[in-house]
Structure 1
Amino acid sequence: MLLSSQQPASLNRYQRLARKTIEHARTSVLIPVFWRLYGAQHVQNRLATLQSLPPGTLGRGVADLLGRHHLQLIPHYENHDLKHVLLGYDMTPEDELKLKAFMFGNGDCSITCLGFLALALLTPELWPELRAHYRRGRRTLPVLRWSLQALADRNLEALRAEIGFYEAQRV
């Protein structure tokens, strides 16, 4: 996550505010809702299991990403986190929007996806990039129903090849 002090200096005041709004929607609204709905069902044990997987696996990638950002595993949200790793998106406001654009193109019409994409109205400078990520999602095999529990021990590069990830980026 980029904190306000870490945002690129090239952003104007409005762009910085838009990114803070996007980050706030995730950290102060969406994540607490998931905690309240699903609780902390054995998350420490599950995170330790992911951390014990070999480097290059999807699960280890998720554990490493969460660790870099000082985040915890959240029940029912870990499938979103796997998409960050699988698709190569970081956890910045810009990459959250790119991920949602990709997922919308990949068939995700959920209220969460559409709600986050509505926040893209605040970032017109990103619209061309978001359109490109939407197209990538359309050209990639569906990953909406993928679960971390089922795929944690799978090789990340093999999974990317399986969905046509690299081919979708070249077009």
Structure 2
Amino acid sequence: MKAISQPAQLNLYQRFARKTIEHARTSFLIPIFWRVYGAQNIQNQLDYLQSLPVGTLGRGVADILRQHNLQLIPHYENHDLKHVLLGYDMTPEDELLLKAFMLGNGDYSITCIGFLAFALLTPELWPQLKTHFRRGCRTGRVLHWSLTKYATQNVEALRHEIGFYEAIEAEQFA
């Protein structure tokens, strides 16, 4: 599954909006998780995830974190697994699309809704946000999935299990 495509050329406002969204994630949300949960055996967990076979959810999480030069954050890894499972990259656009999907999938948390409020800065994404919200509505619930439980599972098998591809196909007829 490849990342959602971005507009080829962003204007000044669109670049500013994306910088604001990225700043909120990296300078606000992630430091809060570090402060609250600390670095509880993250290296052991990351080593374990990297040792898993390619194609497993856990290995996918390790790979995407390495690709984006990010660290495993305790109690945030369950968010990271959704990036891999659902095929969202870790760009500001994909973060918003993932949040729209998760809202449709039943995540009514303050974190989800609060972060999704940044969508007000990106009106060019609104049609896609609506599509991904509907995709979340049509897909089996993944809100409470944990990396501990699903790390060794094959990503493609899990996507089939939750009806992910069927949800995408349904978009063509909506």
Residue in structure 2 matched with residue 137 of structure 1 by the alignment:
136
TM-score, normalized by length of structure 1?
0.95
Identity of aligned residues (%): 76
SS in 2 for 1:113: helix
Q: Does 1:159 align with 2:154?
A: no
Residue in structure 2 matched with residue 15 of structure 1 by the alignment:
14
CA distance in 2, matches of 1:109, 1:22: 19
CA distance in 2, matches of 1:138, 1:101: 10
Residue in structure 2 matched with residue 31 of structure 1 by the alignment:
30
Between Structure 1 and Structure 2, how many residues are aligned? 165
Residue in structure 2 matched with residue 94 of structure 1 by the alignment:
93
Segments of 4+ moved more than 2 angstroms: none
SS in 2 for 1:136: helix
Residue in structure 2 matched with residue 105 of structure 1 by the alignment:
104
In structure 1, the gaps of 5 or more residues are 1-6
Residue in structure 2 matched with residue 4 of structure 1 by the alignment:
none
SS in 1 for 2:9: coil
SS in 2 for 1:160: helix
136 and 36 in structure 1: CA distance in 2 versus 1, 3 angstrom threshold: same
Quote how far apart the aligned CAs of 1:75 are: 0.3
In structure 2, the gaps of 5 or more residues are 1-5
Quote how far apart the aligned CAs of 1:70 are: 0.7
SS in 1 for 2:78: helix
Quote how far apart the aligned CAs of 1:34 are: 0.2
Q: Does 1:74 align with 2:73?
A: yes
TM-score, normalized by length of structure 2?
0.93
Quote how far apart the aligned CAs of 1:153 are: 0.4
RMSD after superposition: 1.0
